[in-house]
A and B are shown apart, each in its own frame.
Chain A
C-alpha cells in the first residue's frame, strides 16, 4: 500500500523540475559564468550519485548474500584477507583521485569565471539599499554618468564589470541565470563580471537576509543588442520630459512641494535627492519598488498611497496627499518615460 502511494507520488516529483527553468534559474544558464557553474553542479551531482549507488550496493551486498556453510567468522583466511585489503586500498585510492579531480575541476571553473570580465568595456556600480538597488553607469565623462534603479541594462554578448557595495547592511547580488552570488558590503567594493550570451530579461534577487523586506528586493538584468543598449543609454541620459497635460503639470509642481522631493531625484528639475530611487525615467522601467509591483498607473498610485501596506517597513513613508494630488503626481510620473 505504502509502495503504491510512493509510486503515485513519483510523477509529481518530476513536476518539481519545472521550477528549474525560467528567468531565474541556476540550472538554466544564459551566460558563460552560469554555464560553467551549471556544468559543475551537474557533473558533481552525477559523479556523487554514481559513488553513492556503488557504496550502497557494497553495503547491501553482505546483508543479502547468504553465508556459506564453511564460513567461520573467527577464522582468518590469509588469501581472502589480502583480497579484501586490495579492494579497500583501491577504493580509498579512487576516492582520493576523485576528490582531487573534483577540486581541480572547480579550480579551473574558477579561472574561467575570473577571466570573463578581463576586457570589460562597461563598468556599472551597483549599490545595495534597504530594499532596492542603485545602479550607476560609470563613465570618464561626468555628463555620461547615469544613475538609475533596480534594472540593469547590459549589451548582450559583451562582458560587463559590476562593482558591488552597500550603504546600510550586507546584501547579496544574485542573478542565477547569469552568475553566482556575491555580497554587497558597506565600505567595501566587490567585483563581479557577468556576460549574457543572448538578449533577454533575467531576474535576480537579494541573497543575503537584509531586513524586513529582503524578499521584496528583486532586480532585473535586461540584455539587449548593442545598438538597442546604446539607444537606451542615450534616452536615459536625457533629463525628464516636460509634463504633457495640465494634470501632469500640476503633478510636477506638487512633486516639488510635497514629501517626494525630500528623497527622490528627477533629472532636469530641482528635485535632487539621492537616498531613494532616481525617478527621471521611472515609467520606462518594468517594475516598481524593486520588483514588487509591475509598472502601471494603478500600481503607481497604490504604491504612493500605501507603501507601508505593500512593503511594510520600507523607507517610503505615507505622504499625506488627497485624491486629486495623488492623481496629479501619478499622471506626472506616468509620463516620465
Chain B
C-alpha cells in the first residue's frame, strides 16, 4: 500500500507538465476598438516612456513566443529593406547600443506606430497593435536587450548573424567586469 502511494507521488508530479504555455493570439479588443491613441508629445527620446499606462509592454517584453513571432514578422514585413537584418543600411542599425529615440519597448513601439523623421514610415494603420509589440520586443532582442533564455535561438534561413540569444548582452557589453 505504502509502495503504491510512493509510486503515485512521482506520477502526480508528472501531471504538472501538462500545463501548456498560454499563447494569446486572439486580442481581447472587439472589432474596431484598436484606435491608435494620438501621441500627445513628439518629444520622447532618451527612454521617457510615451505611454506609461500601457500594460501591454510587460506581457510582450522578454516573452519567447512573442519575440520569435516578431522575428518572423521582421522578415515578412521587409524591415530588412532598410535596417538590413539589424545591421543598418538606409535606416539606422538596430543591433548597436545607439538609440536615437530611446531603447524602451514603448519607444520602439511608438517608432513603428507613428514613424520618425527622415524616413521611418508610420505603420500604425497597417500592422495590428499586437504585432507591433512583437516587433518591438524582437528589435530589443536584436540589440542584446533580451534575456538569452527567451531570445530567438534559431534562424529559418542562412545565418546572417548569430541567433539573438547568442548576441552579447547590451548591459555588460564593452564594460570590464
Q: What 0/1 pattern do residues 23 to 35 of A give for CB contact below 8 A with B?
A: 0000000000000
Stretch at the interface among A13-21, A232-240, A320-328: A320-328
Stretch at the interface among B19-27, B100-108, B144-152: B19-27
Docked Cα-Cα span, A168 to B23, in Å, equals 20
A265 shortest CB reach to chain B, Å = 13
Chain A residue with the shortest CB-CB distance to B76 = A275
Assess the B126–A317 pair: CB atoms within 8 A.
no
Assess the A262–B76 pair: CB atoms within 8 A.
yes
Stretch at the interface among B29-37, B88-96, B164-172: B29-37
Is A200 an interface residue when CB atoms closer than 8 A count as contact? no
Chain A residue with the shortest CB-CB distance to B131 = A317
Docked Cα-Cα span, A312 to B27, in Å, equals 12
Is A259 an interface residue when CB atoms closer than 8 A count as contact? yes
Assess the B23–A313 pair: CB atoms within 8 A.
yes
Docked Cα-Cα span, A257 to B122, in Å, equals 11
Give the residue of A257, A306, A321 whose beta carbon is less than 8 angstroms from that of B126. Answer: A257
Is A319 an interface residue when CB atoms closer than 8 A count as contact? yes
Chain A residue with the shortest CB-CB distance to B26 = A308
Take A168-B156, A312-B26 as given contacts and tell me if A320 and B34 are in contact as well, using a CB distance cutoff of 8 Å.
Answer: yes
Please name all residues of chain B whose beta carbon is closer than 8 Å to the beta carbon of A263 when the two chains form the complex: 76
Interface of B is mostly: loop
Please name all residues of chain A whose beta carbon is closer than 8 Å to the beta carbon of B27 when the two chains form the complex: 318
A 288-321 contacts with B by CB, 8 A: 305-306, 308-309, 312-313, 315, 317-321
Docked Cα-Cα span, A168 to B125, in Å, equals 28
A241 shortest CB reach to chain B, Å = 24
Assess the A258–B31 pair: CB atoms within 8 A.
no
Assess the B128–A319 pair: CB atoms within 8 A.
yes
Is A191 an interface residue when CB atoms closer than 8 A count as contact? no
Give the residue of B26, B29, B126, B131 whose beta carbon is less than 8 angstroms from that of A261. Answer: B126
Is B129 an interface residue when CB atoms closer than 8 A count as contact? yes
Interface size class of chain A, counting residues whose CB lies under 8 Å from the partner chain: 20 to 34
Assess the A258–B76 pair: CB atoms within 8 A.
no
Assess the B127–A262 pair: CB atoms within 8 A.
yes
Please name all residues of chain B whose beta carbon is closer than 8 Å to the beta carbon of A317 when the two chains form the complex: 25, 128, 130-131
Please name all residues of chain A whose beta carbon is closer than 8 Å to the beta carbon of B72 when the two chains form the complex: 315
Please name all residues of chain A whose beta carbon is closer than 8 Å to the beta carbon of B127 when the two chains form the complex: 259, 262
Please name all residues of chain B whose beta carbon is closer than 8 Å to the beta carbon of A261 when the two chains form the complex: 126
Docked Cα-Cα span, A305 to B27, in Å, equals 12
Docked Cα-Cα span, A317 to B76, in Å, equals 13
Give the residue of A186, A257, A320, A326 whose beta carbon is less than 8 angstroms from that of B33. Answer: A320
Give the residue of B25, B29, B125, B131 whose beta carbon is less than 8 angstroms from that of A313. Answer: B25
B170 shortest CB reach to chain A, Å = 29
A63 shortest CB reach to chain B, Å = 39
Please name all residues of chain B whose beta carbon is closer than 8 Å to the beta carbon of A319 when the two chains form the complex: 128
Please name all residues of chain A whose beta carbon is closer than 8 Å to the beta carbon of B125 when the two chains form the complex: 257-258
Please name all residues of chain B whose beta carbon is closer than 8 Å to the beta carbon of A273 when the two chains form the complex: 76
Chain B residue with the shortest CB-CB distance to A167 = B156
Please name all residues of chain B whose beta carbon is closer than 8 Å to the beta carbon of A325 when the two chains form the complex: 32
Take A305-B31, A312-B25, A313-B23 as given contacts and tell me if A320 and B128 are in contact as well, using a CB distance cutoff of 8 Å.
Answer: yes
20 other A-B residue contacts (CB within 8 Å) besides A317-B25, A319-B128, A322-B32: A259-B126, A259-B127, A262-B76, A262-B77, A262-B126, A263-B76, A273-B76, A305-B31, A306-B26, A308-B25, A308-B26, A309-B26, A313-B25, A315-B72, A317-B130, A318-B29, A320-B29, A320-B31, A320-B129, A323-B31
Q: Mind listing 23 A-B residue pairs with CB under 8 Å?
A: A186-B156, A258-B126, A259-B126, A259-B127, A259-B128, A259-B131, A261-B126, A262-B127, A308-B25, A309-B26, A312-B26, A313-B23, A317-B128, A317-B131, A318-B26, A319-B128, A320-B29, A320-B32, A320-B34, A320-B128, A320-B129, A322-B31, A326-B31
* 10 smallest beta-carbon distances between A and B, as pairs: A320-B34, A322-B32, A308-B26, A275-B76, A308-B25, A317-B128, A259-B128, A318-B27, A257-B125, A319-B128
